[in-house]
Structure 1
Amino acid sequence: MTETLSPAKPTAPASLQGEARPRHWEWQYLDLMRHIWEHGDERVDRTGVGTRSVFGATIRFDLAGGAMPLLTTKRVYWKTATRELLWFLTGDTNIRKLCAQNVQIWTDWPLERYRRETGDAITREAFSQRIVEDATFAWLWGDLGPVYGKQWVDWPTYEPVGEGLFRKGVGINQVAQVVESLKSNPGSRRHIIEGWNVAELDSMALPPCHKTYQFHVADGKLSCLLYQRSCDLGLGFAFNMWSLAALTRMMAQQCNLEPGHAVWTGGDVHLYLNHGALVEEQLAREPAGDATLTFARRPASIFDYAIEDFEVTGYAPQAHIAAPVAV
């Protein structure tokens, strides 16, 4: 049997009781976590681990004043998440550049394929090191297929050449198009970056989870709503929420707009059954403190940001909570 938690509803920290201060944004996350663990539908999933899930959830965060949605009830490695976001914006689909920065978010998928197809029980560390040091090995085993970045900045097109034949056309850079449309037509309802390319899903190591970003301008402020079809609330959400907010801040800076809201919407939002210890530990903690992001400079374009441009202050999280990743 899996773990169960006390149904007691969390209360606001004592330091906030009786005061007219707004509830910390992170309670949205903790309340959702508790609801899923106590009332979620128990399901057999792709990984075989099993989940408890709900369908449809929303968390909203106000980006005013440089505020950023970093969870405080556990440490979030925001630099790792930022490096992944910057990698998406290059359109690269090979893990070599990530591994070179010791970003292992995507390593498990090609590692699983390598072990399965070769029978070599190589360690993750050795596999990652070989990806970095051996370009041929990285070319053979490090590519993920046309995942996120490829769709974001090089969505494939095809043009007829006669007699029913087609050739590959110029790829569509959705990110660049949205930047331009935000500048030229801010009131449009078509500021969208889409990752769900139905024709190429079977070629991807993992179909996009955070699939659709829609931007919205009102009163000189830029907001973004992310629709995420599948969300591992225990592990993945923290990175997804940070990246949503960071991308919104970057787009706002490039378009001379103030940051508005980061709105996260999940479809199948779940907790893995082997994450009981994580859930119990995190629900026992209370959120406190706020993180702020400033940019060291204004890069020439949305594609020119570097990790050194991101400066986070005021982030004092509680200890990291480790949990296994379901591949």
Structure 2
Amino acid sequence: MEPYLQLCRTIMENGTDKGDRTGTGTRSTFGHQMRFNLEDGFPLLTTKKTAFRLIVSELLWFLKGDTNVRTLMQENNRIWDEWAFEKWAASPEYDGPDMTDFGRRAASDPAFKWTLDEEMEKFRGRILSDDGFARKYGDLGPVYGRQWRSWPDGKGGTIDQIKNVIDSIQNNPDSRRHIVSAWNPAEVEDMALPPCHTLFQFYVANGKLSCQLYQRSADVFLGVPFNIASYALLTHLIARETGLEPGEFIHTLGDAHIYSNHFDQVTEQLTRTPRPLPELVIEAPAKSIFDLETGDIRVEGYDPHPKIKAPIAV
């Protein structure tokens, strides 16, 4: 995982301090590329523990075309909860404590953090128990799963980009059009969070499948380790579906930034020595990519350093 650690060093040592949408502040660089040879092991960060199960359940959520956090909550995956809660807390139906700018306030005010956690648990409970509430406040809008599996074609129908790219790889492997886009300008304003990982392209050579992702915005400490593992896993899954071996994952970043309230955590992480990468294991050989469940996918030999906590910027 040296390419990732080098990115952290580059930003901390040479990045530009900037403001941002969340009001937190960042240090960033623009235009950076990392390459991971998937034959060298599965690129799951070892300098801090990274929750692989959450990565798996989120990716399968995308692949099923789902956009409602209820599905993730049922798997005890909370990584999208803040964006759904933000929608609820801003609605006229919400009558609880003021949650304006809750992400930043919670990072500096322990009493408010306790109140936020209490309100968040109430919200999760309603999402899981109330079908109507879940439909209204659990849906994140036309985010990744919608664009990947049901991109509106402008003619009243939809385009299944994932099925199309699998078919393209199988039947025309040398094509330069093995592309899936999540950035739909007509629907960006309706999304809880405009897609950060905006477009990816596959490439076939010598019986191996490689993938390059373009990510417009990259939260380097919290988000990027997830993104690396998620798209490495996607490359493995698409390779499995098309009868190829996994090749490389290439990660191209636009605005690569470290939030100012993550500086201490990044500094701590850079003092740690990377450990050997784990191996990916995919069970259920008869299942298609669309039928896999979280329990079918695991890593072996993962021995990371302890987790480093940091607040999320919403």
Task: Answer 1 or 2: which has greater helix percent.
Answer: 2
TM-score (norm 2): 0.91
Post-superposition offset of 1:309: 1.6
- What letter matches 2:253 in structure 1? G
Query: Is the aligned partner of 1:120 residue 2:96?
Result: yes
- 1:107 pairs with one of 76, 81, 84: 81
The number of residues matched between the two structures is 292
1:155 aligns with 2:156: no
Deviation, structure 1 residue 64: 1.6
Higher RCO (CA < 8 A, seq sep 6+)? 2
In angstroms, what is the RMSD of aligned CA positions? Answer: 1.1
The residue aligned with 1:318 is 305
- Equivalent residues in 2 for 1:224-263 (5 A)? 224-263=211-250
**Which residues in structure 2 correspond to 1:16-27 (within 5 Å)?**
26-27=1-2
| Structure-2 residue corresponding to 1:16 | none
Which has the larger Rg?
A: 1
Unaligned runs of 5+ in 1: 1-25, 160-168
Unaligned runs of 5+ in 2: 98-117
Which residue in the other structure is 1:53 paired with?
28
1:137 corresponds, among 133, 137, 140, to: 133
Shift of residue 302, structure 1, vs aligned partner: 2.1
For residues 168-191 of structure 1, the C-alpha deviation after alignment (integer angstroms, 9 at most, x for no partner) is x22100000000010000000000
1:203 to 173, 177, 190: 190
- The aligned counterpart of 1:12 is none
2:306 is the counterpart of 1:293: no
Aligned equivalents of 2:286, 2:201: Cα separation in 1: 23
Alpha-carbon contact 1:252-1:258 (below 8 Å) kept: yes
**Contact 1:49-1:272 at 8 Å conserved across structures:** yes
Counterpart CA distance in 1 for 2:148 and 2:58 is: 14
Alignment correspondent of 1:29 = 4
Distance (Å, rounded) in 1 between the aligned partners of 2:90 and 2:199:
32
Q: Give, in whole Å, the separation in 2 of the partners of 1:275 and 1:284.
A: 15
The separation in 2 between residues aligned to 1:318 and 1:156, in whole angstroms, is: 44
Distance 1:86 1:96, change over 3 A: same
Q: Return the TM-score normalized by structure 1.
A: 0.87
3-state SS, counterpart of residue 55 of structure 1: strand
Q: CA deviation at 1:299?
A: 4.0
Equivalent-residue separation in structure 2 for 1:218 and 1:184 (angstroms): 14
Aligned sequence identity (%): 48
Is it true that 1:304 corresponds to 2:291 in the alignment? Answer: yes
